[in-house]
């Protein structure tokens, strides 16, 4: 954790020393954690929040990298205190917010909180527009490490990039002046194109209206299908959001990420294959991985998706940039008129690549991707073949990143307390399925060829060859490619 003693004199040199583009030195890789909203909405209190935090430790989720415990809307009193400060609801949080924060920190986790860049939050509680300095100091005094900052009741202060920048920058500056490192997550739903300007004042920004627990069902309340959207809405499906972000993936960078919204994995509205797509693509696009399910009651299948270290290692690779969609084709439309197949590619540390073959069609499909397609950017930019042999001229080993997915027996053993010790998963150093990123960062684990991070070598592809996979309906094949020789 970085300590900022004086923002103007310390922060900028420190960030430059880290080689980071982050405006505050945070979020070198996408943040990971849990937010209560998708599972609980307003029905949240200290007991539920802290039980979840404890289970995140017990289940090894903290040690997989899920560090933030984020308390969403409805934590406040309806009125500010006489001195103007926000006040926690004394029924839900009888010992105050500092006590909650202290307990979360004692567990080795980080504490996140919610407000809005409006006069009210979305649930109509007091929010922070016009109170940025006071509220930022309150958050700092409470030990907040992450601020989710929404967009409701904004008094019409949007419609141009400058209006929205100024409104959100007021809180950015106020947070920095507290001297406490606080991840700043803008939740303005993609209004006024934050991916064009937020990198210098935020760590992440939402690119769409709110996600809901559906793979591809259209909903009139989410009317847009592209990023250029005047009414972001809500009830946006997984495929709707993936389609919106595809043209702007390059705007995400270390310290400043496109946020596709919280994960719906485990909430019951999608199939297992659809949840695998959801989790895999959020990792490939390098969105924050913020769980949104009931952690104490999660099922084995939910756990084994969220706890797949081979996929998480793609998200947390510090040198990679978000995956690029190489091609997208209509295929096998369903009853909603939806159906497509696409190929996504990202470069990783050490010369590896990750690829995803995404089948959003209505039946199982054989999918093919040639090395020429996969490495098209290498051939068409920055000098191409004039710089030497192209990656497509090499042979590559193919590692399936879902082949070592934890079985239900092991997952249930962990969930029932039979495979953990002192909050740390046992024997992770030699495990093919378990990983402890607290002990060894994902970057180092990949360098050391940790079995849990590489997946299973299932095949290889010859120079100028083709990768083939039978991909299930609404499913994904996700691979790490490693050059031969």
pLDDT tens-digit map of 376-394: 998 888 665 556 789 999 9
Residue 320's pLDDT is 80
Residue 373's pLDDT is 97
In the chain, % helix, strand, coil (3-state, to 5) comes to 35, 20, 45
Q: What is the mean pLDDT of residues 450-476?
A: 97
Query: Which residues, in sequence order, are CB contacts of 387 under 8 Å at separation 6+?
Result: none
- Inform me whether the pLDDT recorded for 352 exceeds 70: yes
CB 174 within 8 A of CB 229: no
The one catalytic residue in 150, 317, 352, 400 is 150
Q: What is the mean pLDDT of residues 157-179?
A: 98
210 is catalytic: yes
Q: Which of 204-218, 267-281, 380-394, 414-428 has the lowest mean pLDDT?
A: 414-428
List Cβ<8 Å contacts ≥24 apart for 268-271.
Answer: 268/213, 269/212, 269/213, 269/214, 270/213, 270/214, 270/215, 270/238, 271/215, 271/474
Q: Which of 429-443, 445-459, 463-477 has the lowest mean pLDDT?
A: 429-443
Query: Partners of 211 in the beta sheet?
Result: 236
| Gap between the Cα atoms of 404 and 450, Å rounded | 13
3-class DSSP string for 366-424: EEEEEHHHHCHHHHHCCCHHHHCCCHHHCCEEEEECCCCCCCHHHHHHHHCCCCEECCE
Classified as helix, coil or strand, 160 is coil
Range list of H helices, 118-268? 132-142, 161-177, 238-245
Residue tagged 């004042």 (tokens) = 201
C-alpha 296 chain-centroid distance: 21
Of the pLDDT bands very low, low, confident and very high (cuts 50, 70, 90), residue 418 is confident
Of the pLDDT bands very low, low, confident and very high (cuts 50, 70, 90), residue 363 is very high
The one catalytic residue in 35, 192, 210, 259 is 210
CB 266 within 8 A of CB 298: yes
DSSP 8-state code for residue 139: H
Residue 420's pLDDT is 52
CB 438 within 8 A of CB 309: no
Q: What is the mean pLDDT of residues 421-425?
A: 45
* DSSP per-residue letters across 17-48: HHT---SSS--SS--EEEESHHHHTT---HHH
**Closest among 225, 381, 358, 364 to 285, alpha carbons compared:** 358
Mean pLDDT, the chain, rounded, equals 93
Residue 7's pLDDT is 29
Residue 422 or 412, more confident: 412
Residue 18's pLDDT is 40
% of the chain residues with pLDDT over 90 = 88
| Gap between the Cα atoms of 379 and 169, Å rounded | 40
- Inform me whether the pLDDT recorded for 11 exceeds 50: no
145 is catalytic: no
């Amino acid at each position: 954790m970085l300590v900022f003693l004086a923002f103007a004199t310390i922060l900028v040199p420190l960030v430059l020393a880290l080689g980071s583009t982050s405006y505050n030195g945070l979020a070198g890789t996408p943040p990971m954690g849990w937010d209560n909203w998708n599972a609980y909405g307003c029905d949240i209190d200290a007991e539920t929040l802290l039980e979840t935090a404890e289970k995140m430790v017990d289940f090894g989720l903290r040690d997989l990298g899920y560090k933030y415990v984020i308390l969403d809307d409805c934590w406040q009193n309806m009125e500010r205190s006489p001195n103007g400060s926000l006040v926690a609801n004394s029924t839900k949080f009888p010992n105050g917010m500092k006590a909650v924060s202290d307990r979360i920190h004692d567990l080795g986790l980080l504490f996140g909180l919610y407000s809005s860049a409006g006069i009210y939050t979305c649930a109509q509680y007091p929010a922070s527009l016009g109170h940025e300095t006071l509220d930022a100091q309150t958050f700092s005094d409470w030990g907040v490490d992450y601020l989710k900052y929404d967009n409701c009741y904004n008094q019409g202060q949007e419609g141009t990039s400058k209006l929205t920048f100024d409104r959100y920058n007021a809180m950015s500056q106020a947070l920095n002046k507290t001297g406490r490192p606080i991840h700043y997550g803008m939740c303005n739903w993609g209004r006024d194109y934050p991916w064009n300007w937020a990198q210098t004042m935020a760590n992440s920004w939402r690119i769409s209206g709110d996600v809901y627990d559906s793979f591809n069902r259209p909903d009139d309340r989410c009317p847009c299908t592209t990023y250029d959207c005047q009414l972001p809405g809500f009830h946006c499906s997984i495929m709707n959001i993936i389609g919106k972000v595809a043209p702007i993936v390059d705007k995400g960078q270390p310290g400043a990420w496109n946020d596709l919204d919280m994960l719906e994995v485990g909430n019951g509205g999608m199939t297992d294959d659809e949840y695998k797509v959801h989790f895999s693509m959020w990792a490939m696009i390098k969105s924050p991985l913020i769980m949104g399910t009931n952690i104490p009651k999660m099922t084995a299948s939910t756990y084994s998706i969220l706890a797949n270290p081979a996929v998480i290692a793609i998200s947390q690779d510090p040198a990679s940039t978000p995956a690029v969609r190489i091609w997208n084709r209509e295929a096998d439309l369903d009853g909603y008129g939806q159906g497509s197949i696409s190929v996504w590619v990202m470069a990783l540390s050490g010369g590896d690549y990750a690829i995803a073959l995404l089948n959003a069609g209505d039946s199982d499909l054989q999918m093919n991707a040639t090395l020429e397609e996969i490495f098209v950017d290498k051939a068409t930019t920055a000098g191409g073949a004039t710089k030497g042999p192209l990656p497509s001229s090499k042979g590559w080993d193919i590692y399936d990143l879902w082949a070592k997915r934890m079985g239900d027996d092991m997952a249930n053993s962990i969930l029932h307390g039979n495979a953990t010790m002192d909050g740390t998963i046992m024997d992770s150093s030699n495990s093919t399925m378990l990983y402890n990123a607290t002990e060894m960062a994902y970057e180092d684990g990949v360098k050391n060829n940790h079995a849990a991070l590489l997946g299973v070598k299932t095949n290889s592809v010859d120079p100028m060859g083709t990768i083939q996979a039978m991909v299930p309906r609404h499913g994904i094949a996700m691979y790490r490619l490693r050059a031969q020789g």
